[in-house]
Amino acid sequence: MRRVCLKLTGMKKTSMKCKKPATAHGGIAVSRNGKRNGTRHKHTRDRAAKKQALIAAALGLFASKGYEVTTTREIAAAAGCAEGLIHRYFRGKAGLLAALIDGRIASKEAIDPGNQLQPNPNLEDVFLQLVKREVESVWENRDFFRVFIPRAIVDPSVGSTLNKAFVSERVKAISQRLKNCESRTTLQPHAIEGLAQLVGMLGFAFGFVQPVLLRQDRLRARKMATTVARMFVDRPTNSMVA
């Protein structure tokens, strides 16, 4: 229905169309108060991008310099953001550290390293695949371990948080994948959990300790992880058999 306004000119009534307020500028809707509806979405995207930039910068600096000596000014400069945003978004440097843990926990691959593996009924094959994937995962996330291993040593709460929210859930996911194998029927439940723990130990030893801490050749370390893993699945001990 057309909107019609009446305009008095002397005693006569003249009909004229009222112009509607502009509703779009460049394809973006405009509200009555003149603010663009897309502005909020833009601010949300900018906020998320800046938070991710600060988290990434913090991880790199914490890993290379250490948490204690890294300043919020350095983090902001590396991220190309204002220093005040660190306090606004994370309430300081400690909040950035917590955000790094949250991001790791939120990763599906971090909790379930076998989520991309093809179904396989053979326990030995699945175990070897999990070990290989774990070694690669630890290597890919070496900066994360560079940051949190020293922090867990000086701050027990960090280690406790990682264990409850990350490590224990990871072991459960690996155990479940091993339990789903048809050929695991001769193994006791505690043996399945032991193999799941072993996946993490081998991954850490050959994905971080040897190539990062000891500066050994990464490819050689990866091959050695497979060799050691085969020793456990090719000749299981009597304590593992039901």
One domain, residues 131 and 216: yes
Residues 179 and 148 reside in one and the same domain: yes
Tens of pLDDT, residues 45-77: 788 899 999 999 999 999 999 999 999 999 999
Domain boundary among 84, 100, 116: 100
Nearest alpha carbon to residue 150 among 222, 213, 86: 213
**DSSP 8-state assignment for residue 29:** E
pLDDT of 183 > 80? The answer is no
Strand pairing class (28-29; 24-25)? antiparallel
On the question of pLDDT at 3 being above 50, the answer is no
* DSSP assigned state of 239: G
pLDDT confidence of residue 108: 64
Residue in the block written with tokens 């601010």: 43
Domain membership flag for residue 201: yes
Q: Is 62 helix (H, G, I), strand (E, B) or coil?
A: helix
For residue 14, give the H/E element and its range: strand 12-17
What's the sign of the alpha-carbon dihedral 64, 91, 51, 75? negative
Distances (CA, A) of 23 to 32, 110, 217: 9, 47, 63
Judgement on whether residues 115 and 229 belong to the same structural domain of the protein? yes
Verify that 95 and 139 share a domain, yes or no.
Answer: no
| Last residue within a domain, chosen from 100, 124, 145 | 100
How many structural domains comprise the chain? 2
Q: What is the pLDDT of residues 106-158, one digit of tens each?
A: 766 666 666 666 667 788 889 999 999 999 999 999 999 999 999 999 988 88
